[in-house]
Each structure stands twice: as C-alpha cells, then as structure tokens.
Structure 1
C-alpha cells in the first residue's frame, strides 16, 4: 500500500463499524487517515474524537457525515477523496439497518434494502474506481449470503450476474414485497437472506470484471462474514449470545484481511469468513418460522 494511506468505514458510530475504525487507527501509521462515517453529525463527531484519543490510536482520525442511502453523497465523497488524496486505500462497507424481531419485515423493507443493498451498490460503483493499487474494498455481509440460502427459482437472478443485473433483481424483490407477491415467487419472508445474497452477488460481479488487474497489483475486493457479533443490532435476534464475539474480537479477522501482505487469489471476490472463502452454492433456504440471525 501507499506510504500515506486513506481508509474509510461506513456505519462506524458504534458496534462492529466502530471497532473496525478503532482497529484501523491502531494499526495504521501517523501519516495515515481513518475516516469514520455515519448519518448523525453529533454521533460521528463524538465517535471520531473518542477513537482519536484512544491510547492505541496511531493514525489521524476524522469524522465525516455520510448517509450511504444517498447515492449522490457517496459518489461526491469518492470524488473528493480522489481529488484530495488521489484515491483511497481501504473501504469497509459496514452500514446496516436495525430491525427488531417484533417488527414487520415488509414494513421495513425499503429502509433495509436501501441501507444494505442500494448503498452497497453505490459504494462499489463509486469507490471501486478510486481504490488505489494494493487497496482493500470489503463489504460486511454474513454467512447467509451464499446462494443456497435462496429458493432455487431465484438462483438465476444472482448467479454470474453483472452489477446491473443484481440491482434489477433487488428492485424486483422490493417490488414483490410491496405487491405482496414475494413469497409466492420464492422470496423468503426474512429480509436478511435475499439482502445478504444480493450483497455478495454484487461484490462478485464487480470483482469478476476487475480480477486480473487487481490480483496483478495486490488489490482485494471481497465480502466478509465477521461471525456472530454481540451488538445492539444483533442481540434481539439471539436466543443465546454467550458464544458471540465482542465487536473488537469480530473486527480482527476483517482487519487481518486488510493488512495481509499478499492477496490470496482464492479469497478474491468471495465471501470470506475467518480467512477462508465460503462456497457460493452452499446453504439451504430458511424455515420461515425460525429466527434468522446474522452471523
């Protein structure tokens, strides 16, 4: 990577995103810059100040307000970083919408899809082109993101799809939810499953187009599964979270990918959990009465 590096974390006010920002700030150099982003100006400012003053922090830390659901704002920030710094070295796309078990999944569909999917597409489309050689662009997903978790009738929408085709599939799913035809078409009731599959498919689409060039210059684009994490977003879904990792523990494996000296071609474009790629075709569709976790 470059001597002076620029890193950006979305959804970094709290939980895993905050832990990722802390880990980057601790492992990067004094000339490097970590941009901690979120939607709420005060929370962003407070979190950035706290991370900047942690005993282990080595790099510079700045807060930036960024609503990842605003595609124009994502594009504008990517352009600003290209003009000011020549690009960016690390992008960790982590923002997630919080949904409680007692809430209607259909009623929250737009917000959930906008934060998890529309934003992922915008991050990939805007920050992929400004990622400097040797950079890292990682999208936080989950083990539910393998294709086998979807009904077989839906596989063709995501398997080998381009980014534009993934976007179309996501909007078709959104429309089916609104028109109450989703379940008969094979979409699971739980938003997390198609959302995560679509995130991983989007990463695979962009990676497929860039693979040769990225591997030649040591750049990594991948989706990551941090494992079960005890956060405010995930805790309501766990019957037993005694085995869950703290955010700082979960951040380690993700940060190890960021700071790996070489890029393993077997991980490029894949869904990576604890340093290993999860097979794209694995998984089984969920039983609808079960709670769906986000490990």
Structure 2
C-alpha cells in the first residue's frame, strides 16, 4: 500500500488553483490529504465545501506574502507528517488594465514573486523523497521576453537571494519612473514571470543531483491561456482558451507521474514539454 501523501496548493480558492485541488482530490487515495490554501477564511471554507473527490481535503488560511507564515506551515507539516509530497505554488495577485501598473506593482509582486520565493525556501527542504514542487508560471517567463539589457540579471548562476534583490530593484524603478529607461517592459507581468522561473531554476540548481537520485521534481509550468477572472481583462480572444479544469490536467499528470524525466528538472514545462529558457512560446 502506498504511504499517505500530503499535497498543498496555494491560491486555491478559484480558477486553476481550485481545479488542481479538485483534480488531486479525484486522483489521490482516500488516505491522502490535500490542503487548499488562500488568504480569506470564508473563501477557503467555501472552496473546500465545493470539492468532490476521494482524498481528504482541508482548508488552511495562508497569506503567501507572509514568509514567516509560509515557513510555519511547512514546519508544522514536517512535524505532523514528516514532510510533504506535492506542492503547487499558484497564488497570484490582482492585476487589471483599469489601474496603472505602478499602482498595482507592490501587491502583485509580493504575491507572485514573494510568495513563490517563500514557498521555494520553506517547502523545498521538507519535500519527501519522490516529491514534487511546481510553480505555476507562464511562457511569458522565458528569458527572451526581456530586453537584452536586463536579461543578464536572471541568467543561470544567480542565487535565489540575488534574484529577489533584482526583483526589488526593479520594483523600485517602477515607483521612481525609471523602469523603461532601465530596460524593463511596461507590463509588470513579464518580469514577474521571468523572475518566478529564474527563482525555480536557482533553487533547482542547488538540488539537482540529490533530487534526481530520489525521484524528486522541482519545476515551473505554463498552463497556457486559461479563461479565468484574472486573464479576462487582458485578452480579447478566448476562443482557444482552456478552462481551468483543462489547464490543470497536464499539470496533474506531471505531479503524479511515477518517473521524473531528468530533462524536465528545474525547467519551465508546458503540456509535458520543456520550453527553452531562451526561446519559449509567447502565449500565457
């Protein structure tokens, strides 16, 4: 009999996050536990009540911008269960076209990048053998989406600390009004996604040999264009968009595969295929 598996999904009240919880609940066994997390207690409770599946599902209130809270949850799961098996970092802050990018930058970056980094820092060390830690990012996160002027700031060889500092420096240029002259694009989603993927690559680079030896996978994924509340304001044509449930399927396949393909380790993956760090697709 397979030992109990512990799964955790951040940003799981709705959209892709909820679809991932639903998919895990359906695919995992009755003894397994899926933790659905979000910032709002009422929304977390309501989301848990909507899940229909075999595995146990419990809600946890978690603000991923609070690195101490993320660390406390990881430590608690380590103490209770000896670690975690499946972690999906999916939380994203609001971003809409009706407000300036500068007005929204702090919260968006804190959730998408601060949250990703907190999950990587706290949950990578408590992954059990053959565990999976996946960051939901985008093909907008390939390095060539950035101007050549700032690409070197995210190239391989940088530590997670250095990537975090680059993100903070970029955030400050947004408020100073100097982002464009420093080579940063106007749409803050692009550097944010690149930084997420770069953070995954930085952490994976320190763990690759050990993780591959015990079948553990750390990677980022691109779900493609998904019809969600977050994406609706930004795109006019949703005729080719996936539903959250459709987008969740290849991510679940990656999470639950018994074998880790070494070529996928630390990489950005879409539908099971690696997107080149220099030269990925151009859709979300």
Q: Distance in 2 between matches of 1:138 and 1:81?
A: 18
Give the counterpart of 1:71 among 67, 72, 94.
67
Distance 1:97 1:238, change over 3 A: same
The superposition leaves residues 85-135 of structure 1 with CA deviations (integer Å, 9 ceiling, x where unpaired) of 100000000011121112111110000100000111100000000010000
Which residue is 1:40 aligned to?
A: 40
**Cα offset for 1:2?**
5.7
Helix, strand or coil at the partner of 2:149: helix
Which residue is 2:135 aligned to?
A: 139
Matched, 1:197 2:194: yes
**Cα offset for 1:243?**
1.0
Which residue is 2:9 aligned to?
A: 9
Helix, strand or coil at the partner of 2:16: helix
Equivalent positions of 1:193-272 (< 5 A) are: 193-272=190-269
Contact 1:223 1:269 in 2 (8 A): yes
Q: For structure 1, which runs of at least 5 residues remain unmatched after alignment?
A: 285-292
Matched, 1:107 2:100: no
**Cα offset for 1:294?**
6.5
Distance 1:87 1:255, change over 3 A: same
TM-score normalised by the chain length of structure 2: 0.97
Give the counterpart of 1:177 among 174, 187, 202.
174
Contact 1:234 1:294 in 2 (8 A): no
**Cα offset for 1:238?**
1.3
Helix, strand or coil at the partner of 1:176: helix
Q: Distance in 2 between matches of 1:218 and 1:226?
A: 23
Which residue is 2:149 aligned to?
A: 153
Helix, strand or coil at the partner of 1:243: coil
**Cα offset for 1:283?**
5.4
Q: For structure 2, which runs of at least 5 residues remain unmatched after alignment?
A: none
Distance 1:255 1:30, change over 3 A: same
Helix, strand or coil at the partner of 2:264: coil
The superposition leaves residues 203-232 of structure 1 with CA deviations (integer Å, 9 ceiling, x where unpaired) of 000000000010010000000001110001
User: What is the Cα-based RMSD across aligned positions, in Å?
Assistant: 1.3
Distance 1:33 1:294, change over 3 A: farther
Give the paired residue count.
Answer: 283
Q: Distance in 2 between matches of 1:277 and 1:149?
A: 16
The superposition leaves residues 128-149 of structure 1 with CA deviations (integer Å, 9 ceiling, x where unpaired) of 0001000000000000000000
**Cα offset for 1:50?**
1.6
The superposition leaves residues 223-254 of structure 1 with CA deviations (integer Å, 9 ceiling, x where unpaired) of 00011100011011111101100000000000
Give the counterpart of 1:275 among 268, 272, 275.
272
Q: Distance in 2 between matches of 1:79 and 1:62?
A: 17
Deviating 4+ runs (over 2 angstroms): none
Q: Distance in 1 between matches of 2:178 and 2:283?
A: 25
Q: Distance in 2 between matches of 1:216 and 1:180?
A: 47
